[in-house]
């Protein structure tokens, strides 16, 4: 794992996640008002498709710029999961128990943090983007969970 990736994950580890859920503290996002609404948004086909498209576009940029590096993708993912899975489980444990959140919530957070780490690992090939912006909201105590509007127009939805 690159030092930048380690540093990125370490910074996320040092902040408390989900401390600002439901609080409107920014005008650049839409804020939902409950865990139920947040989980429903995060499991929507539209949001899942947008997240998949972000990964697909990122992989395409890597393939265009450094196809030999794309061959490392699966090994990098395996290595990153050894760090990101325990990190996410530790950071979400309390909120999952207190709010009886479903497995889909953990899956969403795992996906976001893994892909943040992937963007970091490949940042020398193509700059981080979609998942780096998701990490910003985790670090601010929110849960990024959807998109309001037709991407790229519109606004991120957070809880």
pLDDT in tens, 47-81: 999 999 999 999 999 999 999 999 999 999 999 99
Distances (CA, A) of 151 to 46, 76, 143, 156: 10, 29, 19, 9
Alpha-helical segments (H) within the chain: 3-14, 35-42, 45-65, 67-70, 73-99, 103-121, 130-139
d(CA 139, CA 37): 20
Three-state secondary-structure class, residue 124: coil
Q: Residue length, the chain?
A: 159
Distances (CA, A) of 106 to 50, 94, 126: 18, 12, 27
Q: According to the model, what pLDDT value does residue 149 have?
A: 95
Q: According to the model, what pLDDT value does residue 96 have?
A: 98
């Amino acid at each position: 794992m690159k030092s930048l990736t380690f540093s990125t994950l370490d910074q996320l580890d040092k902040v408390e996640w989900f401390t600002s859920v439901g609080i409107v503290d920014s005008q650049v996002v839409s804020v939902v008002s409950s865990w139920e609404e947040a989980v429903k948004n995060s499991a929507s086909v539209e949001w899942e498709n947008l997240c998949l498209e972000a990964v697909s576009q990122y992989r395409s940029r890597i393939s265009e710029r450094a196809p030999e590096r794309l061959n490392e993708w699966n090994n990098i993912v395996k290595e990153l999961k050894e760090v990101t899975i325990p990190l996410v489980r530790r950071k979400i444990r309390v909120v999952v128990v207190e709010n009886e959140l479903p497995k889909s919530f953990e899956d969403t957070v795992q996906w976001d943090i893994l892909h943040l780490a992937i963007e970091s690992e490949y940042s020398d090939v193509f700059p981080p983007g979609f998942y780096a912006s998701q990490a910003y909201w985790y670090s601010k105590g929110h849960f990024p969970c959807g998109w309001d509007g037709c991407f790229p127009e519109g606004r991120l939805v957070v809880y």
